[in-house]
Structures are given as structure tokens and as C-alpha cells.
Amino acid sequence: MRRNFLILIQTLLTFNLFAQITLENTYNYSGTYTHLKHSGDKFFLMDIGLNQCRIYNTDHSLWKTINLNVPAGNYLYDIRYVSENLFTSDNALCLAYVYYYYDEINQYYTFTAKIIRENGTELLSIPGCQTLNVYNTENGAAKLLAYSYDYSLVLYTTTTRVYNLPGQLTGVEMNQEDKNDAYFRPFPNPASSWITIPIRLPEGNPDGVVHFMNAAGQEIRTYNVSIMQPELTIPTNDLPAGIYFCTIESGSVQSAAQKIIVR
């Protein structure tokens, strides 16, 4: 009996040793997981070309497609907080998204953020808003922080709006991104002539380095930046079309790598 038990243990250990990481699916878009209060875990992605948020079940079958109203000449920039009972209290599926317009004559970007229901009904529009963050307070309230920037000014201004939300933030997005990573989203993406990288350094770190890498992870360019520099513009018209990555390193902190498509 004891011998059989030992054989069973050895078999289980051997099985665990040879367990492998397996690829479930591949998407050609930026995506992440969220936990919906009533509908459970979902995976959603951002389709810039079609201005869509597509939401998948955990088995990767398509669950819902939400069409986003992006005005002509503007480009989808970000999708956040795909959620239930966060922006409303009626179990409705909602999300926040950001798009931008580039003024080619004066060479600056204008962002707009919107919060909508899945049927497109607009709950909130925030002019100039590039970044959104939601926090649950200790007393159970949920607050939306909306950061707006006026890039038409050489010394651009920053406005922070605080909104009280009817619901609460639940699931994956509660700790999905470091605050500095949330700011760090290069645009326009895909890029043809240049890519602009917002510079947001961790508190207490006045300097940093932007690392620009090819798809193989080989560093091809580095740029020194400072806290006084709101953004870095990198020319891309001399780069072969393809996928690139960039990170910002400051002190002991390094941002998550952001994918850049050059066409």
C-alpha cells in the first residue's frame, strides 16, 4: 500500500514537472482582461481601424462588439474600464474611450474622452482628456480622475477633473496599470512620419531614458529626457515598416513596453 502511494506521488510530481505553458489564442490588437460584476471574466481589445471594442468570453468566442463614435479625422487612442455597475447602477455594460485629432498646421494634438453604454448612449464627454483613472475610496465611493492637457500651448496646461461615480470598480482593472504607465501611450499609433511619446516620470525622479527597440527586442535608439519635457517626438520615416517597442526608464522604475506600429 505504501509503495503504491509513493508511486502515485512520484507520478503527480512528474506530471507537474512537465506541465507546459500553452498558447490559447492570438489577437492582432491590443487587449486585456476585465471582470464584469454580473457577466464574469471577459477579454476585450481595441480595433483602431474599425473604431470598435470587441469583447470575448474566456474561451475566446466573441461575446459583444461595441462600435465607438470617433469623428472623421480623429483616431482611437485608448479603451478603459469595460465594466458593469461602475458608470451606472442598472447593470448596464459601459466603457470609457479616448480619441485624438492632430492639427497639422499648428502641430499639436487634441484629445477627447467619452463614457458610453454599449448601445452608444453617451454618459459623459470630457474635452481635452487624455487619461482616465478610477479609484475606490475607503468609504466605498468610486471616483473618476480625468486628466486633460492643452497641447496648443508651448507650456501646456493640465486640468484634473474629479467625478463621483454611482458604482464601484471591481476585478482586474483595479490594479491593472501603474499610474505612470497609464500616461505612457505613444501616439499616433500606427505611425508613418513620427511618433510622440508622453513623458511622465515617477515622483522624485527628474531624469529618464527612453529606449526604442525593434521587434526582436534589440535597442536601436535611446533618448535622454527630463521632467521638464512634456513629450518626445521620434522620427519614424527612416524606419522599415513593422513593429517596434519603447519603454521609459527612470531611476529603478521602468515602464511596461508599449508597442508601436510603423507603416
pTM > 0.85 = no
pLDDT tens-digit profile of 23-78? 888 888 778 889 998 899 999 998 888 999 999 999 999 999 999 999 999 988 88
Domain definitions of the chain by residue range: 31-164, 194-262
The amino acid that residue 221 corresponds to is R
Sites in the chain below the pLDDT cut of 50: 172, 174-182
pLDDT of residue 213: 87
pLDDT of residue 189: 77
CATH of domain 194-262: 2.60.40.10
pLDDT of residue 3: 58
Distance CA 37, CA 41 (A): 9
Distance CA 174, CA 167 (A): 13
3-state secondary structure (DSSP) of residue 73: coil
DSSP string, 143-208: EEEEEEEETTSSS-EEEEEEEEESS---SGGGGSS-HHHHH---BSSSBSSEEEEE--PPTT--EE
* Cell numbers representing residue 201 in the block: 516620470
